Copies of this chain bind each other. A is one copy, B any other.
Amino acid sequence: MRDELRERGLRLTPQRELVLTAVRALGHATPEDIAEYIHRTHPSINLSTVYRNLETLENVGLVLHTHLGHGGATYHAAEEVNHLHLVCGKCGSVGEAPIETAATFVNALADDYGFKTDVTHFAVYGKCTKCSEES
C-alpha cells in the first residue's frame, strides 16, 4: 500500500491507513459508517478526512464505491467486489449474487451496443424474496 501511494506522490498517513482498514473490515459501508467505526478507536479523525481519503484510495484503486440505494455511495475494498448487489426497494436489504449471473447480459450489451458494463458499480434494483411474498 505504501508503495502504491508513493508512486503517485501520495503519503501513507495514519488516518489513511485507518480508512482503508475500516473499509476492509466493514464490507458495504457509507462514509458515515466508516467515520463512526474509526471514531471508536480514534475519536479525533475528521469526517472530511474520511471523505478525502476515500477519494484518494479510490483513485489509487484500493477501494471503490457502489450506489446501492437512494442515499449515498457505499465503499468496498477493491479485492472484495466480486458480486452483484441486489437491493430491495421495499425493505432496503442488500443481497448478493455472483457476477457470472450477469455474464450473458453483459456480453449482449458489449456485442450489440459496444457498451462495457461494470455490473458492480450500480445496484440491481427490485424486490427481494421476502417482500415479494408479503405483498
A residues within 8 Å of B by Cβ?
A: 67, 70, 73, 86-89, 95, 97, 101-102, 104-105, 108-109, 112-119, 121-129, 132
How many Å lie between the Cα of A97 and that of B128 in the bound state? Answer: 25
Chain B residues closer than 8 Å to A115, beta-carbon distance: 86, 88, 95, 97, 124, 126-129
CB nearest neighbor in B for A124: B117
Highest count of chain B CB atoms <10 Å: which of A70, A104, A122, A128: A122
Q: Chain A interface secondary structure, helix, strand, loop or mixed?
A: mixed
Is the CB–CB distance between A109 and B86 below 8 Å?
A: yes
Copies in the complex: 2
Q: Offer 16 A-B interface pairs, CB within 8 angstroms, sorted by A.
A: A70-B73, A86-B113, A88-B115, A97-B112, A102-B105, A104-B104, A109-B124, A109-B126, A114-B132, A115-B126, A115-B127, A115-B129, A116-B127, A117-B125, A117-B126, A122-B123
Highest count of chain B CB atoms <10 Å: which of A89, A102, A118, A124: A124
Highest count of chain B CB atoms <10 Å: which of A97, A108, A113: A113
How many Å lie between the Cα of A97 and that of B117 in the bound state? Answer: 13
Query: 6 extra interchain contacts, Cβ-Cβ under 8 A, other than A117-B126, A118-B127, A122-B125?
Result: A67-B122, A86-B109, A101-B105, A109-B124, A113-B129, A116-B127
